[in-house]
Structure 1
Amino acid sequence: MGKIIISENVTLDGVVQDPTGDEGTGRGSWFTWIGDRDREAWAKVEYEEALGAEALLMGRRTHAYFLRRGWASRTGEWADRLRSLPKYVVSSSALEGDGWGETTVLAGIEEIAKLKEEVSGEIVVYGSAQLVHTLIERDLADELRLMTYPFVAGAGERLFPGTSEIKPTRLTGTRTVGDGLALLTYELG
């Protein structure tokens, strides 16, 4: 059975929206404010995570974001690893061929539960705030990996906008990344 791992870049106040400023929210681009040492350390952690993954799961908008940012044609070990992983995209419409390796469209939550049964190993979820909300609400996520940035955005879409009940977690790891980032790992359930 697979484990669904939610891997998010998040500000201190829980904002996940517009980390690179592409959405033009006026509160975005906080990801770009970190220094080179932090960015290099972040990339190393992300690459290590990709090496441990068996598949990627994402929403349609996050999938499109990765394609806009050129991940289908990037070079390097990290890009090669992501390209080699099977990708599962939750979408109500079909996707056109994207050149980013094996991509399967999942129509809904039942297909995600089935995917979790079929894949052995880690199924990593990047971005995909709407999907993450559903995974947490339906108790399908097993772990949170929160790369926490030393900024308070003050506004924007938050990782946890609301749940129907308290969702218990257990802190299983803390790690300083670079000079200013903190990776917090929680087990869900």
Structure 2
Amino acid sequence: MRELVYTGFMSLDGVVDSPGGTEEGHRSGGWVVKDLEFVPEAWSLKAEELADTTALLFGRRSYEAFAPFWRESEDHAAYKELPKYVVSTTLADDALVDGWGPTTILRSSDEVAELKKGEGGGIFIHGSAELARRLSDAGLIDRYNLLVFPVLLGGGKSLFSTADKDKQMLRLRESEVYPNGIVKMIYEVR
């Protein structure tokens, strides 16, 4: 069974909305790069993930935001030819971005569950907070790779659902604190 990993930047109050910039919609967008000393080792998790990623999974909105940019980005060149999956009930095949490797549209969480049953390595979810909440509620996420930033945003998209459901236990696999206040936390879902 393939491992489904959510990877992302999160504020201390659990917001994952618009870490890269205001064009993503949050009034405090770009909070990952603003007002924080750059410490290279705090970003090492992203390089480590490249070695483990065999496929990418996105919700429609994150796909539409990332695909055109990542297709041209040297920092994301290793992702170019990886298989990509977009979970959407509305995205049309002709809306897929050309020149960014093989991309398949999945229409439901059940199709994600089927994908996980296949052969291959880790499937990584970037962004896609709404999709991550749905997949978590369905018990499909196996691991969370989080970089938690020392900022309180007070509102925005949250990674975790507020649905009334049974508790879900996690096991801390790895953690590290960096001098600029970023905390790396890798949790496996038990």
Structures share fold, TM-score greater than 0.5: yes
Distance 1:32 1:12 in 2: 15
User: Contact 1:145/1:184 (CA < 8 Å) preserved in 2?
Assistant: yes
**Would you say the 8 A contact 2:70–2:77 is kept in 1?**
no
State whether residues 51 and 81 of structure 1, in contact with CA within 8 Å, keep that contact through their aligned partners in structure 2: no
Cα deviation for residue 123 of structure 1 reads 0.7
Task: Give the match's secondary structure for 1:88.
Answer: strand
Deviation at 1:67, TM superposition (A): 2.7
SS class of match (1:148): strand
Stretches of structure 1 that go unaligned for 5 or more consecutive residues are none
Counterpart secondary structure, 2:158 = coil
**Is 1:5 matched up with 2:5?**
yes
Give the TM-score taking structure 2 as reference length. 0.88
2:45 corresponds to: 45
Q: How far apart in 2 are the matches of 1:118 and 1:128?
A: 22
Residue 136 of structure 1 is matched in structure 2 by: 136
Name 2:157's counterpart in structure 1: 157
Q: Does 1:118 align with 2:118?
A: yes
Distance (whole Å) between structure 2 residues aligned to residue 36 and residue 135 of structure 1: 34
Say whether the 8 Å CA contact 2:137–2:161 is kept in structure 1.
Answer: no
CA contact (8 A) 1:67 1:98 kept: no
Q: Structure 1 CA distance, aligned partners of 2:172 and 2:143?
A: 10
Which consecutive unaligned segments of at least 5 residues does structure 2 have?
none
- Alpha-carbon distance in structure 2 between the residues aligned to 1:126 and 1:24: 17
Report 1:160-171 matches (<5 A): 160-163=160-163, 164-171=165-172
**Amino acid in the other structure paired with 1:122:** G
Q: CA RMSD in A?
A: 1.8
Residues 15-55 of structure 1: per-residue CA shift (max 9 Å, x gap): 011112223432322112154633x4354421220221111
The AA in structure 1 aligned to 2:112 is: I
CA 74–155 in structure 1, closer or farther in 2 if over 3 Å, else same: same
Identity of aligned residues (%): 32
Look up the match of 1:83.
Answer: 80
Normalising by structure 1, report the TM-score: 0.89
Moved over 6 A (4+): none
CA change 1:184–1:43 in 2 (3 A) is closer
Count of aligned residue pairs for this structure pair:
185
